[in-house]
Amino acid sequence: MAIIIKGGTIIDGSGNEPIKGDVLIEGDKIVAVVESIGTTEGKLFDACGFVVCPGFIDIHSHTDFTLYKNPLCESKLRQGVTTEVVGNCGFSPAPVNWSYFEELVDFLTNTTYIKEDEKLFWHWKSQKEYLEFAFSKGVAVNIASLVGHGTLRISVGGAGNAPLKASQLEHLLEILEREIDLGAKGLSLGLQYEPGKFADKKELYAIGSLLASRSALLSVHMRDEGDWVEENVKEMIELSFKTGVNLQISHLKAEGKNNWGKSERLIQIIDVAKRKRKCSIDYDVYPYKAFGSSLMDLLPSWAKEGGFSKLFKLLNDETASKAILKEMNTIYSGKKDWSDYRITFVAGPNKFYEGQSIEEIARMKKCTPEESILDLIRENRGAIKMVVFGMCDSDVERLLSYKEAIIASDGRAVAPKGELGEGKIHPRYYGTFPRVLGHYVRDRGLFTLEEAVKKMTYLPAKKVGLEKRGLLREGYFADIVVFDPTEIRDLATFQNPHVFAKGIKAVFVNGEEVLIEGEYTLNRPGRMV
H/E stretch holding 304: helix 301-304
How far out from the chain centre does Cα 192 lie?
15
User: In this structure, what CATH number is given to the domain that contains residue 27?
Assistant: 2.30.40.10
The verdict on residue 61 lying in a domain is yes
Same domain, 475 and 452: no
Same domain, 284 and 170: yes
- pLDDT, position 518: 86
pLDDT in tens, 377-391: 998 888 899 999 999
In the predicted model, what is the mean pLDDT of residues 124-147?
Answer: 97
pLDDT in tens, 226-276: 999 999 999 999 999 999 999 999 999 999 999 999 999 999 999 999 999
Domain boundary among 388, 416, 442: 388
Same domain, 185 and 116: yes
Comparing CA positions, the residue from 258, 228, 229, 230 lying closest to residue 334 is 258
The verdict on residue 528 lying in a domain is no
User: In this structure, what CATH number is given to the domain that contains residue 151?
Assistant: 3.20.20.140
Same domain, 352 and 396: no
The verdict on residue 436 lying in a domain is yes
The verdict on residue 526 lying in a domain is no
The helix, strand and coil proportions of the chain, stated in percent and rounded to the nearest 5, come to 40, 20, 40
| pLDDT greater than 80 at residue 150 | yes
Same domain, 413 and 346: no
Contact 423, 343 (CB under 8 A): no
Instruction: Calculate the dihedral angle through the C-alpha atoms of 156, 160, 164, 170, rounding to the nearest 10 degrees.
Output: 0
How many domains would you assign to the chain?
A: 3
Same domain, 421 and 357: no
The verdict on residue 529 lying in a domain is no
Which amino acid is it at 64?
D
- Looking at the DSSP assignment, which residues form a beta bridge with residue 284? 406
Q: Which long-range contacts (CB under 8 A, 24 or more apart) does 157-162 make?
A: 157/100, 158/99, 158/100, 158/103, 158/195, 158/307, 159/100, 159/103, 159/106, 159/107, 159/194, 159/195, 159/305, 159/306, 159/307, 160/195, 160/198, 160/306, 161/194, 161/195, 161/198, 161/305, 161/306, 162/198
**SS3 (DSSP) at 74:** helix
Contact 395, 261 (CB under 8 A): yes
CA distances from 204 to 14, 239, 245 (A): 34, 8, 11
Same domain, 254 and 308: no
Stated pTM of the model: 0.97
The verdict on residue 451 lying in a domain is yes
- pLDDT, position 253: 98
CA distances from 398 to 200, 231, 392, 432, 457 (A): 32, 19, 10, 16, 20
pLDDT in tens, 335-362: 789 999 999 999 877 889 999 999 999 9
Same domain, 159 and 68: yes
Same domain, 445 and 499: no
| pLDDT greater than 80 at residue 49 | yes
**SS3 (DSSP) at 431:** helix
Number of neighbouring beta carbons within 10 Å of residue 214? 15
pLDDT in tens, 78-119: 999 999 999 999 999 999 999 999 999 989 988 888 889 999
Quote the CA–CA distance of 19 and 21 in Å, as a whole number.
6
Contact 409, 285 (CB under 8 A): no
Domain boundary among 343, 358, 388: 388
Instruction: Calculate the dihedral angle through the C-alpha atoms of 344, 346, 347, 352, rounding to the nearest 10 degrees.
Output: -120
Same domain, 268 and 417: yes
> In degrees rounded to 5, what are phi and psi of residue 231?
-65, -35
The verdict on residue 205 lying in a domain is yes
Same domain, 16 and 151: no
Domain with 344, as residue range(s), is 294-388
Contact 186, 218 (CB under 8 A): yes
Contact 159, 100 (CB under 8 A): yes
Quote the CA–CA distance of 78 and 273 in Å, as a whole number.
36
The verdict on residue 47 lying in a domain is yes
Same domain, 113 and 202: yes
- List strand residue ranges (DSSP E) for 258-383, in order: 281-285, 291-294, 341-346
